[in-house]
Amino acid sequence: SGRVYYFNHLTNASQWERPSGGARAEPGRVRCSHLLVKHNQSRRPSSWRQERITRSKEEALELINGDFPREAPRIPIFFAEFRVAGQMQKPFEDASFALRAGEMSGPVFTDSGIHIILRTE
C-alpha cells in the first residue's frame, strides 16, 4: 500500500497515524535504528549476507546517498536498543545524541562502515 505505520517498542503498539509528542529516553541514553553499509576498509569487512565485502568506501557512500526504496533490500537495517553514552564508536554516539527523536542523520562514518541513523527515542 506504500503507507508507513508507527511501532512503539515500549508498548508493542502499532498505528497508522504519526504519534504526537516525543518519546523520552533517560539522560545519557538514546534509542536508534540505523542502516550500516560496510566496505572493504571496514574493521570487519564481512557480514551474514556476504563472506567478504569488496565494495569500496566510495561505493558504500553511493549506496547510502542513493535511492533507498530500490536499495533497501540490499542494506541491512539494525534496530538498536537503548544505547548508553561511552559505549558506542565516537562518531555514532555524537550523531545519535545530536538528533532529536524522529530525526535522521546524514552519512556517519565509523570504523564499522557508513551509517544512516534514525533516533527513535
Q: Domain containing 41: what range?
A: 22-119
The CATH number of residue 67's host domain is 3.10.50.40
pLDDT at residue 108 in the model: 95
pLDDT tens-place string over residues 44-101: 887 767 788 888 999 989 888 876 556 556 665 565 665 677 788 999 999 999 999 8
**Residue 96 main-chain phi, psi, to 5 deg:** -60, -45
Q: Which of residues 116 and 12 earns the better pLDDT score? A: 116
Number of domain units in the chain: 1
Q: Which of residues 94 and 16 earns the better pLDDT score? A: 94
The Cα 105–Cα 96 span in angstroms is 8
| 82: its cell numbers | 537503548
User: Could you tell me where the beta strands, DSSP code E, fall in the chain?
Assistant: 6-8, 13-15, 29-37, 77-84, 108-110, 113-119
